[in-house]
Structure 1
Amino acid sequence: AQGEGANEFAWDKETYSRYEVERIMDIAMETARKRNKKVVSVDKANVLASSRLWRKIAQEKVAANPDIATDYFYVDNTAMQLVVNPAQFDVIVTTNLFGDILSDEGAVISGSIGLLPSASMGTGTALYEPIHGSAPDIMGQNLANPLGTILSAAMMCRHSLDLPQVADAIEKAVEQVLLDGYRTGDIYREGLKRVGTTEMAQAVIERL
């Protein structure tokens, strides 16, 4: 920030190079190829110059990957569509700022951040962890939802270890546990089976 009083001001500069956009677009296409072959590229090309470069490169990558169905959404519309119809999305690729906002919205839509796996993937080694991190505030109390961690292992099998059948088995086991009514406290509601971290993890293991 500069200036003082009524004349105090600040600004931010969003800069993306061609290499950076191409790299993340390639990762998005490859990720979609392992899923449902759908990508939504999110930008604000009607306002931001960096987004216009983003969309230009996205269109080039779409032409080079004809097997992937790709749409282009403005970020404000994406935020609305995530609430109205989240099932329409498979892979969303966007900038760091927009992704930071939309990923938190996605966490709310799922019902609990305890359910969400995540990965930081690039051209080097990938890092897999649940969205909630290590949850130090409830450490050792048998309260944490282990499903985000378990599903992160499934993501690792699918995207880094090339073991899609193992990933499918883990994800199906988690789905079956939820269908059977097991719930940790963050997703519990009356009439279901409330369990702790250890019991939930064991229930998944039994269904593998």
Structure 2
Amino acid sequence: MLEVTILWREVMERLAPEYPDVELSHMYVDNAAMQLVRAPKQFDVVVTGNMFGDILSDAAAMLTGSIGMLPSASLNESGQGMYEPCHGSAPDIAGQNVANPLAMMLSVAMMLRYSLNENAMAERIEAAVGSVLDDGLRTADIASEGMRTIGTDAMGDAVLAAFAKQ
């Protein structure tokens, strides 16, 4: 594990001069987790190996209320990428109509923005998701008192309807 950490540090230090407007700092993963919870706005991008990235992304997910809210992307230098919800497939709730589909929809928005240069369409998807949340609709993972709890299908239909209204 330490070899990967050393590799990341060496690569980032080599690349840092090419991006003078980006501040580079190094943290141990335990400190990064604490800082993420203490002051998340200090981070823009976190570069780490897969295991520590999984740990930090799960911690960051709870800042949004649920891991079901986080889109993710793995991009190459030319903007091609693999887009998916941060949380993975959640086989334990498959077919139960309880999964939060918003991370997948927001991953599509990221794909449109970063790989397909379709910023306007990405903004429409994000606005539709925001509209539905503003209306108080929630899947069970993000529901709180006063909110209407709906299933996966109904959340998808609500976002689609909000998208169509734009």
Q: Which band: TM-score by shorter chain?
A: 0.7 to 0.9
The runs of 5 or more residues in structure 1 that have no matched partner are 1-12, 17-42, 44-49
Q: Secondary structure at the match of 1:15?
A: helix
Q: Which amino acid aligns with 2:45?
A: V
Q: Relative to structure 1, is the Cα distance of residues 147 and 194 closer, same or farther in structure 2, using a 3 angstrom cutoff?
A: same
Write out aligned runs for 1:81-96 (5 A): 81-96=35-50
In the alignment, is the contact (CA less than 8 A) between 2:57 and 2:86 conserved in 1?
A: no
Match of 1:114 in 2: 68
Mark the structure with the bigger radius of gyration.
1
Tell me which residue corresponds to 2:90.
135
- Give me the TM-score of the superposition, normalised by structure 2: 0.82
C-alpha displacement of 1:87? 2.4
Which of 10, 15, 21 pairs up with 2:3?
15
Separation (CA, whole Å) in 1 of partners of 2:11 and 2:138: 43
The structure 1 segments of at least 4 consecutive aligned residues displaced by more than 4 Å after TM superposition are none
Q: What residue number does 2:58 align with?
A: 104
- The match for 2:17 among 63, 84, 89 is 63
State how 1:1-208 maps to structure 2 within 5 Å. 14-16=2-4, 50=6, 54-122=8-76, 126-208=81-163
Residues in 2 aligned to 1:173 and 1:189: alpha-carbon distance in whole angstroms: 20
Q: Tell me how far apart the structure 1 counterparts of residues 92 and 115 of structure 2 sit (CA, whole Å).
A: 30
How far, CA to CA, are the matches of 2:22 and 2:82 in structure 1? 25
Q: In 2, distance between residues paired with 1:136 and 1:97?
A: 20
Separation in structure 1 between the aligned mates of residue 89 and residue 11 of structure 2, nearest angstrom: 36
Q: Which moved more, 1:89-98 or 1:119-128?
A: 119-128
Structure with a larger share of its residues in strand: 1
Distance 1:148 1:138 in 2: 16
Change in 2 beyond 3 A, CA 1:202/1:81: same
State the alpha-carbon separation in 2 of the partners of residues 176 and 157 from structure 1: 19
The number of residue pairs the alignment matches comes to: 162
Code of the aligned partner of 1:107: A
Q: With the length of structure 1 as denominator, give the TM-score of the two structures.
A: 0.68
Unaligned 5+ segments in structure 2 are none
Mapped to 2, the partners of 1:54 and 1:96 lie a distance apart of 11
